[in-house]
Amino acid sequence: MPELPDLEIIREVLAPRITGQTITDVEVVRPLVVRDLTGRGFAEALTGQTFADAQRRGKVLLFPLQSKLTLAINCKLAGRLQCAAPSDRRQSKTHVVLHLSDGHELRYSDQRTMGQIYLTADLAAIPGWTEMGPEPFGLTLEEFRRRLQPHQGEIKSALTHGFVVAGIGNAYADEICFAARIHPYRKSTALDGQEIERLYEATQSVLREAIATLRERVGTEIHREVRDFLAVHGKGGQPCPACSTIISEIKAQGRPTNFCRTCQPGGLMQF
């Protein structure tokens, strides 16, 4: 799942490439991901539009258009973007292709067909938009504490559902909990003041360091997902980088949670 660090790199790469480019043609190869909220037709309304910028809010990529419409892409679990020449091989399950005035193509592929591409004049019309929490880098410790307080569930759930802070998914929630030395299944209400502060600081450092790493490792190949540098996520059965305890892996609804039982003691149950 592309999360805040992945999407921030995509935004950085695309902003200078597409700003000022006009969409000359739109191919909707697989329409299941398309959500036209204009009532004018997705391809019809997009053709002839000019990109004004590339932005990000939480886990949603935003492409404001000069007409005041916005193309908003929620990649969900497996959506990827590719900016390529027409001769470059398309990724499998490419759903939408935007032909640009400079001759390049902006392509959206999705192996799971779970993502959504919205065309809208009102971002509040996108499901979940108004419930999204603040961006992590503009969030103070006190606000983080306040937003965490009403949450009664597990700390990983609070991080991934986006109402405490926007942009964190399954992988980086594992990394943040590990960096903070907090078991991902601890109840949020059980955390003391020092643990909340560690969680806040880990949120800042983990995401910033991941952005820096991806900027170097991914470069302009934004269709690639690079996760091998993560400390615990996806490393079930391997030794913990801090203490060499074997990293635990628990799967729920097909998504793994990885943690170290030595570095992150406690939780609702023993695994």
Whether pLDDT at 218 is above 80: yes
Q: Which of 2, 5, 136, 184 is catalytic?
A: 2
Active site residue 59: yes
> Which long-range contacts (C-beta less than 8 Å, at least 24 apart) are formed by 212-216?
214/5, 214/6, 214/8, 214/9, 215/9, 215/12
Q: Which of 11, 56, 59, 80 is catalytic?
A: 59
210-234 average pLDDT score: 96
pLDDT score of 235 more than 60: yes
Q: Each residue of 38-76: pLDDT tens digit? A: 999 999 999 999 999 999 999 999 999 999 999 999 999
CATH of domain 4-125: 3.20.190.10
Check residue 26 and give its pLDDT: 98
For residue 1, name the pLDDT band (cuts at 50, 70, 90).
Answer: confident
Domains of the chain by residue range: 4-125, 136-259
Say yes or no to pLDDT of 234 above 70: yes
What is 136-259's CATH topology? Answer: Helicase, Ruva Protein; domain 3 (1.10.8)
3 is catalytic: yes
Q: What percent of the chain has pLDDT over 90?
A: 95
In the set 40, 112, 217, 255, the catalytic residue is: 255
pLDDT at 270: 41
| pLDDT surpassing 50 at residue 271 | no
The reply to whether 4-125 and 136-259 are identical in fold is no
The model's pTM: 0.94
In this prediction, residue 267 has a pLDDT band, given cuts at 50, 70 and 90, of low
